[in-house]
Amino acid sequence: MASVNRSITIKKFQNFIKEVYGLSNSRYFGLGDMIVNMERFVMRGLKGIRKGDDQKTKLNLLIAFSWFTSIMNRLHIDVENEIWKRFPYLCSYCGTYPCICKKIKVKKRQKVVIDNKKRPKTIEQFQKMFSDVYPAADRTLDHAGVHLAEEVGEFSEVILTFRGAHRDEDFKNVELEAADLFSCIAGVFNSLKMNMAKELAKMYSKNCHTCKKSPCICNFTIITKFKS
């Protein structure tokens, strides 16, 4: 049996997703299809924000995060490393903690010194890091949602560019945007005052959250018509 516990690392979550959904992803979905699925669940999550329905937002963003993880697996990206390189307990732009981008105009991205002793280990700790660097009190939930939408667009854009010419320098942008996208998912959960790892552990207490099997045996119609 495959399951997620609250202290799971991002790497272990990637392995969990691979074990449960690797087979059906390989059979049914190309990279572009997986991106469409991630996008549609992010959008459903945003609808939850507009309607003031936190449970709807939570559930849809957890599913979007699972699709995001499947995409990372497909591209063999160690997303935890990318997040840490981009956000080493510092804002990736002003290079400060907590971020001061709103208070002072930082003209260009600052060089950051990485202190590996501060590196979070679990999803829960990474979420806490984003809460420390980008305090939820400094923005509204709507703002966090708009930022997430923006990053989904940027992520799709770099994937499109990479798929156009298959250039390795374009792939680096995919890795960077993946880290940004994760930061925004964690940001919405911080604004919701919800613990992402705890919610993932509830949803994935046993294998696939829908069929409860590993590997997942949900058929193509169930997956593509799934609504939460």
Q: What residues line the site for Zn ion (CB under 5 A)?
A: 91, 93-94, 99, 101, 208, 210-211, 216, 218
Shortest distance (Å) from residue 125 CB to Zn ion: 20
Q: What is d(CA 72, CA 134) in angstroms, rounded to the nearest whole number?
A: 24
- Cα 45 to chain centroid distance, Å, stands at 13
For 51, 65, 105, 191, 193, the CA distances from 141, given in Å and listed in that order, are: 12, 18, 23, 5, 10
173 or 210, CB closer to Zn ion?
A: 210
Q: How many CB atoms lie within 10 A of CB 169?
A: 9
81 or 96, CB closer to Zn ion?
A: 96
Shortest distance (Å) from residue 19 CB to Zn ion: 12
178 or 216, CB closer to Zn ion?
A: 216
Shortest distance (Å) from residue 52 CB to Zn ion: 29
Amino acid at 119: R
For 68, 76, 142, 224, the CA distances from 139, given in Å and listed in that order, are: 24, 33, 8, 34
188 or 218, CB closer to Zn ion?
A: 218
Shortest distance (Å) from residue 218 CB to Zn ion: 3
